[in-house]
Amino acid sequence: EAQVTQNPRYLITVTGKKLTVTCSQNMNHEYMSWYRQDPGLGLRQIYYSMNVEVTDKGDVPEGYKVSRKEKRNFPLILESPSPNQTSLYFCAIGPGLAGGVSTDTQYFGPGTRLTVL
Amino acid sequence: GNSVTQMEGPVTLSEEAFLTINCTYTATGYPSLFWYVQYPGEGLQLLLKATKADDKGSNKGFEATYRKETTSFHLEKGSVQVSDSAVYFCALGTSYGKLTFGQGTILTVHP
């Protein structure tokens, strides 16, 4: 079964203090992405990665960075968080290839609730 | 560009009532369509999907039919339970990997 883990699950921080939210998967998926969820807006894609060392912007990338140095991990970095980045963040894996097998399903992590004061 | 529109919410029903949550989409090409469910305090789980026109996805008593002529993918359940209370998201997938989500519909079912 696909498993996506995120840490931390909850975080309260202050404006300008750099933070990293980690994401790890056990399915060997090539494709990973980050979304943020805000009331009335659904989920919006922040960044995605099609494979190791291949990342690109989604719909709302401003204020975020990512890296993909190894296939299983895809951390989200906020260099200087601001209050408008208070949100619920989800890491997702797929669709696409996982260990040579194609799937059209996207699997989500449990979410990280971030509050920036 | 691609977009998904869900019915205005929230939706409140009594147990055993019939549920419909409307979803319409705009997309180029031939998207796959999905319904995801988010239970309180949890991440999103795939509820059902359909990959081509006239396909019907079904799971846990929920159904949705991919209607290309009306660009719709409405979610239905004949008899809801309290445990169905959650947020439901309609989504479409076209290009590699990215899903476009609707705004979500909060469903509350009372005993």
Q: For residue range A58-107, list pLDDT tens digits in order.
A: 999 999 999 999 999 999 999 999 999 999 999 999 877 777 777 778 88
Q: Which residues contact A54 (CB under 8 A, 6 or more apart)?
A: A68
Residues of B in contact with A48 (CB under 8 A): 97-98
Shortest distance between the Cα of B101 and any Cα of chain A, in A, equals: 6
Name which of A13-22, A24-33, B16-25 the model is least confident about: A24-33
Task: Name which of A4, A90, A96 is nearest B97 (Cβ-Cβ).
Answer: A96
Residue B2 and residue B92 in contact, taking contact as beta carbons nearer than 8 Å: yes
pLDDT for the residue A1 = 65
pLDDT for the residue A55 = 95
Instruction: Classify the C-alpha dihedral A89-B87-B1-B92 as positive or negative.
Output: positive
Alpha helices in chain A (DSSP H): none
pLDDT digit string (tens) for A20-65?
999 999 888 889 999 999 988 889 999 999 999 999 999 999 999 9
- Best CA proximity match to A105, nearest among A115, A97, A95: A95
> What percentage of chain A has pLDDT greater than the value 70?
97
B52 alpha carbon, distance to own chain's centre: 16
Written as six digits, the tokens of A50 are: 């099609």
pLDDT band, residue A2 (cuts 50/70/90): low
What CA–CA distance (Å, rounded) separates A83 from B64?
Answer: 38
The single-letter DSSP state of residue A106 is -
Written as six digits, the tokens of B91 are: 């989504």
pLDDT band, residue B42 (cuts 50/70/90): confident
CA dihedral A109, A62, A41, B59 (to 10 degrees): -30
User: Are the beta carbons of A31 and B43 separated by less than 8 Å?
Assistant: no
